[in-house]
Amino acid sequence: MMSSFENTYWPLNTKGFNNKIPAVGFGTYLISDKTTIYKALDTALAAGYRLIDTAAVYNNESYIKDALNVLLPKYKLTRKDLFITSKLDPKDHGDEKTVINAVNRSLNNLGTDYLDLFLIHWPGTFKVSSNSPENFKMRNSTWKALMKIHNNGNGPLKNIGVSNYTTKHIKEILADPSNVVPAVNQVEFHPYYQQSSEFHKVCRDAKIILQAYCSMGGSAGKNSLLNNDIITSIAQKHSISTAQVLLKWALQRNYAIIPKSVTPERIKLNIELDKELTKEDMESINNIKHIEKFAWQPEKVF
């Protein structure tokens, strides 16, 4: 049975075609084997996922294309039934020609003539020191190039956004009134790393959708979120998995999510998120004191 989240879409700050995004998507980070991609997407599409999140650096875009060539007819779907996100490789920051070439590679690899969303993957540029002012110049020129390709939604990139952008990086874009406001900012977000109140206000005021990665943390050790006592007790109370608690918490915090798994049962459970967490549940999770970041450190990028 498909989750009602198959039909839950959130509005983007754009107009026209593709101006809504599924609240729950399927992440493909670290899934770089062709057979594994096929099996995972087969399960995901059957379960109701309609957003597929990838990136140039994941090295799986062409495998996704091959899988969809078989799976879309299998499930009587068309390209327009899907929301596909990809991201710019940090080595491809720069002038318009460089960015256009990178976008075209992703389009060709994915076998599509448009992307629903394309993100700057990282605020820094490959081989540029994180504390160099050159990073600002490069991401600024990159954003201008993406705006041209986007062409107010009339180009092959229907929406453009960013990933791993901090408050500082977002404010830079917003400071230039000629800039398109990013549709999405995809960032690390989970109970051990909840971002700042200023970050949330800046993005909320600009109507930027926040999309979480690492929703279930990233460590299997003693501080694992999936084994956290508070998360476990809430899961037991509602008769759901700890992963479902963490994903539902993120949704109720107004974050879109892109859970990743290659295990069929977990793929199915990760979109079955109809059970509401109570106000008390939310407050208990919000007030978890442990702080731990599992991914990269964009705060260090000038």
Q: Is 87 helix (H, G, I), strand (E, B) or coil?
A: strand
Q: Is 272 helix (H, G, I), strand (E, B) or coil?
A: coil
* Residue 32 tokens, joined: 């770089």
Kindly provide the b/e burial profile for residues 160-177, where b requires at least 16 CB atoms within 10 angstroms of the residue's own CB. Answer: bbbbbbbbebbebbeeee
Whats the size of the chain, residue-wise?
A: 302
With beta carbons less than 8 A apart as the criterion, state whether 106 and 118 touch: yes
Catalytic residue numbers?
Answer: 58
Kindly provide the b/e burial profile for residues 88-116, where b requires at least 16 CB atoms within 10 angstroms of the residue's own CB. Answer: bbbebbbeeebbbebbeebbebbebebbb
